[in-house]
Every structure is written in C-alpha cells, then in structure tokens.
Amino acid sequence: MKKLLTILLVLVLFLGLTSTALAEKIVMIGQQLGNVVFLPAEVGMRAAGEELGIQTEWQSPLRAEAELQNEIMFSLIDRGDVDGIAISCTTGDALKDAIDAAIGAGIQVLTYDVDSPNSKREYYVGTENYRVGYLAGEYMIDLYKDSGLEEVRVAQLEGIPGADDIEARKRGFADAIKDTNIKVVYSLPCNDNVDEAINGIEYYMGANADSVDAWYMAGGWPYVVDPSALPELNKWKLANPLHKVVTIDIFVETSPAFFELGVLDVAIGQDFYQMGYQSVMALHKLIAGEEPEAEFNEEIGAKFIATGGQIATWENWKEVIGVE
C-alpha cells in the first residue's frame, strides 16, 4: 500500500510539473497569413516549443496592415493566457502602443524581422538590416568597378513605405554608394505584396528598360515565384552584361532558377527559421526571469539577437543554396 501511495505521489508531482510547463504560452505574429518568408519562422517557433515543452501559437493577419496586427495584439492581451509575444511589425510606430500595452499587462514582448524602435521592447531578433543594405551597396559597387559607365542608374524595390527594416536597408544602401557613380533613380513600393512587386517591376521595365542599369531589391518578393513571371525584367537583364540585380532574401525553392537563367547576380539571405526558433528561446528565458544572451546594438537601439544568413553570388550560388 505504501509503495502504491509513493507511486501515485510521484505521478501527481510529474503531472503537476508537466502541466505547469505546458501552461507557458508564446505567440508569434507574422505580417501576413501565407507570406512565404514567414513559413520557416513558424517551423522554427514550433521546433523551439517542442524542445522546451511549452505551448506555441502562430497568428498572422490576412493582409499586411498594422491595424490588423494591432487587433491581434490587443486580443492576445484580453485573452489573459499569453506569457510572451514575438511580432514582426508592418510598421514599427503603428505597433508601438500595442506592444507597450502588452508589456504593461505583464506579457514579455520582443520584435523579430521588423522592429518597433520607439516601443518599450528591449530585444530584437533577426537581421541587422542597415548592415544588410550596406552590404548590398558594396556588392553593387563591386559589380560595376570595371564597367566604364559614367553613371550607374539603379531602380530600387521597397516594401511597405516607412517599415523599419526596409528603411534601414535603404539607408545602408544609400550610405554605401554615397560619393560613387551609382545613383538610385527610381523607387517602387510594393507593400510587401508579391503581385504588386511583380506587376510594378514588369510595367516599369516594359516602359523604361533603357532608363536603368541595375535593380536593388530591398526584399525578395519577386523571387518567390518562377522566373517566367518576370519576362520584361529577364529580357532587360539578359540584353546587356552590364545590367545587374542585387536582392535581399534567398528562397531555396525558387532562387536557383534565377541564378541558373543568369538573371540574378547577388542574393543576401536571412534565416527566418532561426528568427522563429531564437524568438521562442529568448522569450522563454524572459518569462523565467532570465536574461537572454544579447548585446546592445546602437544602430538598432535594442539588445540584438542575430540570426545570421548567407550570401549567394554568381560564383558560389550552388554551394550556398545547396544545389547538387
């Protein structure tokens, strides 16, 4: 009888500990439901949750709009069962009040991918976007170092106007090409929408193919599809060896086709899986009253958890992307 009671006591304690662990809930918010760049982040989130034995939940609005993200944030606050939130902000200032309200309600909040610098968040997980933009500028300079062109005219693709990540990448690119013969002559916002990006690029290139020498894609929206979706851009690219394209983001499923066709020169990738994984790991520590390992980054204005990435060029893309 005593042995049976001991076994029952151990079982009750075990179930109690398990129940306590599972009670912790972390929610990650993407910018838009179905946006392919966030699919690896969700996978990383769930992997971290399983490893830690805690509950994770993914939520994203139907459209990449701050108002819809705000609705999600306030609904999570009202639920009362959420311990941590990681959010990729469509625009940082538009999410500031919701982030601050969640923190005020006792929820641990950090940003990933796209920051909200003026909010009360203390941690940012992801890419150092200014540095990525600066790198893109350096690669553009290198691509044209022996071109002999008096001026290199660059068209620039951006996402949501005012979004923190894109603005930082634009600043980085502009600082890199400052005092060179490389000039941004056109900027196209696509509102983080693949169709808008493709349609805008195709329309512009159909009418202005002779007006630009290069494209800087501050995000990889045009490259999540098959190259056949961009006939005007591809025709322009292949018409002249001095036409160059540098993009942010690498997509394992589609980027190789663009390199194979010869219509992409440099792609600077981000690790969205690690964004999801590291966000959950950091929030778990914060919920437990611990400090995640991170150093304050002056440019970002937060404690920065870097998630890394890769750079694919014409010379190394097969090795970097993993093509046999």
Residue ranges and CATH numbers for the domains of the chain are 2-127+271-292 (3.40.50.2300), 129-269+311-321 (3.40.50.2300)
Evaluate if pTM is beyond 0.85. yes
Please, are residues 58 and 42 in contact by the beta-carbon 8 Å criterion? Answer: yes
Half-sphere exposure of 170 (CA within 13 A, CB side): 18
The CA–CA distances, whole Å, from 185 to 102, 154, 174, 322 equal: 41, 6, 12, 35
Can you name the residues that pair with 214 across neighbouring β-strands? 154, 244
pLDDT in tens, the chain (324 residues): 455 444 444 444 444 444 444 579 999 999 988 788 899 999 999 999 999 999 999 999 998 899 999 999 999 999 999 999 999 999 889 999 999 999 999 999 999 999 999 999 999 999 999 999 999 999 999 999 999 999 999 999 999 888 899 999 999 999 999 999 999 999 999 998 999 999 999 999 999 999 999 999 999 999 999 999 999 999 999 999 999 999 999 999 999 999 999 999 999 999 999 999 999 999 999 999 999 999 999 989 999 999 999 999 999 999 999 866
The DSSP code for 35 is: -
